[in-house]
């Protein structure tokens, strides 16, 4: 999978990728990540990429021209037609289903937003999918891009050493995951459930399924309703 990340702060992406599970995919040649410095496409000597919003108001807006040129550059050098993603609070809320679908694509372009956002004409002309990571605002688009990128990259076959690990995560089957325990089997009077020490695979599987249901019903009733609707 070829992934372009357009950002005015490439060093921030470099640091995040270096310490990310996706770095395994890069080393295995399963992921090819190219970080595009947006300021390289600015026309003036000051590498200006933002300006004041029309209509007034506080904050700055990322300009069309540098983004147009950066996106066109990525499209021109991409072998496959890329899906262009803009992390945005106006987008579809990120889910396992979205990440899973995007993990099958051959090429992605991420646009890291800043300030009040990007000129709407960039979205109108280029963006295929706006994705929200939740009902809150963070101060830069590199973090939201990396959250989405990570959720996609770990589902690309071969990136994780054991793909079954990803396939048993929360949300895969519309339930939250069961609790996990490791050695020692007792600490400060807290014990590992006996069933997990039994070696009885059917009993362990049944216990985990029961816990997944209990936790989902208690902590995410909205997810439980979705699960019931799909499985009744």
Confidence of residue 173 (pLDDT cuts 50, 70, 90): confident
pLDDT digits (tens, 9 = 90+) for 26-36: 999 999 999 99
Q: Which domains does the chain have, with CATH numbers?
A: 2-153 (3.40.1280.10), 168-231 (1.10.1270.20)
- Structure confidence by residue, pLDDT tens digits, 103-148: 999 999 999 999 999 999 999 999 999 999 999 999 899 999 999 9
Look at residue 164 in the predicted model and tell me its pLDDT.
Answer: 64
- The predicted model gives 55-63 an average pLDDT of 94
pLDDT band at 150 (very low <50, low <70, confident <90, very high): very high
| Res 196 pLDDT > 80 | yes
* Arithmetic mean of pLDDT over the chain: 94
For residue 101, the model assigns a pLDDT of 97
Cis peptide before 10 (omega within 30 of 0): no
Q: How confident is the model at residue 165 (pLDDT cuts 50, 70, 90)?
A: low
pLDDT tens across 72-113, in order? 999 999 999 999 999 999 999 999 999 999 999 999 999 999
How many whole angstroms separate alpha carbon 128 and alpha carbon 141? 17
């Amino acid at each position: 999978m070829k992934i372009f990340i357009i950002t005015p702060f490439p060093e921030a992406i470099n640091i995040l990728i270096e310490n990310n599970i996706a770095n395994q995919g890069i080393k295995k040649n399963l992921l090819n990540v190219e970080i595009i410095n947006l300021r390289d496409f600015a026309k003036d000597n000051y590498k200006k990429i933002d300006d004041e919003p029309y209509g007034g108001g506080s904050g700055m807006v990322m300009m069309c021209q540098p983004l147009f040129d950066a996106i066109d550059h990525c499209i021109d050098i991409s072998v496959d037609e890329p899906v262009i993603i803009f992390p945005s609070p106006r987008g579809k809320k990120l889910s396992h289903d979205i990440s899973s679908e995007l993990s099958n694509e051959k090429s992605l372009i991420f646009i890291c937003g800043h300030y009040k956002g990007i000129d709407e004409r960039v979205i109108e002309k280029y963006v295929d999918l706006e994705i929200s990571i939740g009902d809150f605002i963070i101060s830069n688009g590199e973090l939201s891009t990396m959250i989405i990128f990570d959720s996609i990259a770990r589902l690309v076959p071969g990136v994780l050493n054991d793909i079954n690990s990803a396939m048993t995560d929360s949300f895969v089957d519309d339930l939250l995951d069961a609790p996990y325990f490791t050695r020692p089997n007792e600490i400060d009077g807290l014990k590992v459930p006996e069933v997990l020490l039994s070696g009885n695979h059917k009993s362990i599987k049944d216990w985990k399924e029961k816990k997944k249901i209990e936790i989902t019903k208690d902590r995410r009733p909205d997810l439980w309703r979705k699960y019931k609707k799909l499985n009744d």
